[in-house]
């Protein structure tokens, strides 16, 4: 598997977002003071050590972290961790550290071994007021909060508050054991050669909206499992933001995807491929001038298929300039949803035809043809736009792994 110059490779990621309510209330605008956060995430590949990445990208003041730890959780769900696996995490050798406003930080390495698809629990104590906190609005996973310093608590009983967002945590990287020789040819414990990581850049369909929380049924989780089962395990990194668009920057829905490619894709250690699944919100929100689902988060803006295609070309150019392979995914069906009008259906077909036929992408994953003109009821979460767990499984199953 490809790694950065220091031997690290990303195994889990989430796109940082500005503090805000998102699609449901969260804790980001109020921030934290004398509170402990406990967040559990699912890795896509394992290793002999890990490091944690935190983001203060959208903070307006320095973020003071009083303490950080990593552990393996007890079972599925809940805030309990296995006490024998708890490891203190430092930055620059210090257990307490400061992240300047607008910046990210990577921790020192931690000798906590993991296997592919293990869950890792990150516990963070914020003694001083954090101010509004960088977050990821839709985690589809439960974050726990307790009062005071609860880093040493392993039973989870003190974590009495919950949220459906992630906070400050933006990535976990893994490294192989020191002295393992050629890291580029190391093997996952479940067997098979590993290649570079795959970053999926997109919107709510990448983020997993419509799936069951705390079950890791996102497209990216399921694609990683398919790759591993085929004997070709690779990290699959989720950089989806609900409502995100190719052409419009938004405080609530994230910077446009060409900007996020530079922020959220190119810096990922060990990644060599980006899959781009983006554009449905551009043409869909364009149909909702009178009844936008995002009236607080984002104003109505009309966008054409040609503008979306221009954005895709920009992303291909940026990816190639950075040495990444660019894979385009066609836009999924919207028939029956609030996004669907004769104009948006025509715009979607124009974009998909360009993705399929322009030969500008290095490869194409034709999700549109695989999922049909309209979502199968079994694949529909209920709004005719977002997928159910079965829909995300069908989406992952539609990928020809040889294209990756």
One domain, residues 167 and 201: no
Task: Give the DSSP letter of residue 141.
Answer: S
Is the pLDDT reported for residue 116 higher than 80?
Answer: yes
- Of residues 181 and 85, which shows the higher confidence score? 85
Same-domain check for residues 207 and 85: no
In the predicted structure, residue 3 carries a pLDDT above the cut 90: no
Return d(Cα 226, Cα 232) in angstroms, integer. 9
User: Where are the extended beta strands (E) located within 96-136?
Assistant: 97-99, 104-106, 119-126, 135-136
For residue 179, being part of any structural domain is answered with no
- Residue 106 domain boundaries: 9-23+31-173
Q: Tell me the Cα Rg of the chain.
A: 20
**CATH code of 280's domain:** 3.40.50.1110
CA 137 centroid distance within chain: 11
**Judgement on whether residues 242 and 371 belong to the same structural domain of the protein:** yes
pLDDT of residue 76: 80
Structure tokens at 40: 């559990």
Considering the domain architecture, whether residues 302 and 206 belong to the same structural domain is answered as: yes
Q: Are residues 157 and 285 part of one domain?
A: no
pLDDT tens by residue, 210-261: 999 999 999 999 999 999 999 999 999 999 999 999 999 988 899 999 999 9
What are the residues whose beta carbons fall under 8 Å from the beta carbon of 56, sequence distance 6 or more? 62, 63, 99, 100, 101, 102, 103, 104, 105, 134, 168
Q: What percent of the chain has pLDDT over 70?
A: 91
User: Which range, of 56-70, 113-127, 187-201, 377-391, averages the lowest pLDDT?
Assistant: 187-201
Does the pLDDT of residue 192 top 90, yes or no?
no
Instruction: Give pLDDT, residue 131.
Output: 97
- Whole-model pTM: value is 0.94
Instruction: Give yes or no for a contact between 266 and 320, defined as CB atoms under 8 angstroms apart.
Output: no
Q: Give a yes or no: residue 181 inside a domain.
A: no
Q: What's the rounded mean pLDDT across residues 40-45?
A: 98
In-domain check, residue 2: no
pLDDT band of 6, cuts 50, 70, 90: confident
- pLDDT for the residue 22: 75
Give the span between the Cα atoms of 215 and 212, in whole angstroms. Answer: 6
268 and 126 co-located in one domain: no
Would you say residue 135 lies in a domain?
yes
In which order are the strands placed within the sheet that holds 87-89? Answer: 87-89, 67-71, 119-126, 35-42, 143-147, 161-163
Instruction: Identify whether residues 169 and 206 lie together within a single domain.
Output: no
Task: Give ∠ CA 260-365-355 in degrees, rounded to 5.
Answer: 70
Which of 206, 255, 232 minimizes the C-alpha distance to 13?
Answer: 206
Please report whether residue 15 resides in a domain: yes
Average pLDDT, integer, range 354-366: 98
DSSP string over 27-43: STTT--SSEEEEEEEE-
Same domain, 201 and 166: no
Question: Considering the domain boundaries, does residue 332 fall inside one?
Answer: yes
Domains contained in the chain, number = 2
* pLDDT at res. 189: 31
397 against 195, higher pLDDT: 397
Whether residues 285 and 374 fall in one domain: yes
What is the average per-residue pLDDT within 34-60?
A: 98
For the segment 138-152, the average pLDDT, to the nearest whole number, is 97
Question: Mean pLDDT, to the nearest integer, of 68-84?
Answer: 94
pLDDT in tens, 77-87: 899 999 999 99
Q: Is residue 203 part of a domain?
A: yes
Residue 3: inside a domain: no
pLDDT classification of 290: cutoffs 50, 70, 90: low
Q: Which residues contact 232 (CB under 8 A, 6 or more apart)?
A: 192, 193, 194, 195, 401
Same domain, 204 and 139: no
């Amino acid at each position: 598997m490809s790694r950065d110059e220091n031997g690290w490779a990303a195994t889990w990621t989430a796109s940082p977002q500005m503090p805000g309510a998102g699609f449901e209330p969260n804790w980001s605008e109020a921030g934290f003071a004398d509170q402990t956060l406990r967040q559990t995430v699912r890795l896509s590949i394992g290793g002999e050590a890990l490091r944690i990445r935190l983001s203060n990208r959208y903070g307006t003041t320095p973020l003071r972290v009083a303490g950080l730890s990593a552990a393996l959780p007890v079972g599925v769900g809940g805030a309990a961790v296995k006490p024998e696996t708890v490891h203190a995490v430092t930055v620059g050798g210090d257990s307490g550290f400061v992240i300047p406003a607008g910046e990210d930080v990577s921790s020192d390495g931690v000798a906590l071994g993991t296997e592919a698809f293990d869950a890792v629990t990150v516990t963070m104590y914020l003694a001083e007021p954090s101010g509004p906190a960088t977050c990821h609005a839709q985690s589809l996973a439960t974050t726990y909060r307790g009062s005071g310093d609860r880093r040493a608590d392993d039973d989870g009983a003190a974590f009495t508050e919950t949220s459906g967002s992630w906070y400050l945590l933006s990535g976990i990287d893994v490294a192989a054991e020191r002295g393992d020789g050629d890291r580029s040819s190391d093997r996952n414990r479940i067997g098979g050669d590993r290649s570079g990581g795959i970053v999926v850049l997109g919107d709510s369909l990448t983020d997993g909206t419509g799936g069951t929380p705390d079950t890791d049924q996102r497209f990216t989780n399921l694609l990683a499992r398919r790759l591993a089962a085929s004997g070709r395990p690779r990290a699959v990194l989720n950089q989806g933001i609900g409502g995100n668009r190719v052409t419009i920057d938004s405080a609530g829905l994230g910077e446009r995807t060409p900007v996020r490619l530079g922020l959220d894709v190119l810096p990922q250690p060990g990644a060599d491929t980006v899959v781009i699944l983006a554009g449905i919100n551009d043409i869909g929100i364009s149909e909702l001038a009178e009844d936008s689902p995002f009236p607080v988060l984002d104003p109505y803006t009309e966008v054409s298929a040609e503008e979306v295609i221009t954005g895709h070309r920009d992303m291909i150019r940026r990816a190639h300039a950075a040495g990444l392979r660019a894979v385009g995914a066609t836009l999924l069906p919207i028939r029956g949803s609030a996004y669907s009008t004769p104009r948006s259906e025509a715009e979607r077909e124009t974009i998909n035809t360009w993705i399929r036929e322009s030969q500008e992408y290095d490869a194409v994953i034709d999700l549109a043809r695989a999922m049909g003109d309209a979502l199968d009821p079994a694949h529909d979460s209920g709004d005719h736009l977002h997928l159910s767990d079965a829909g995300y499984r069908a989406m992952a199953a539609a990928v020809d792994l040889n294209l990756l």
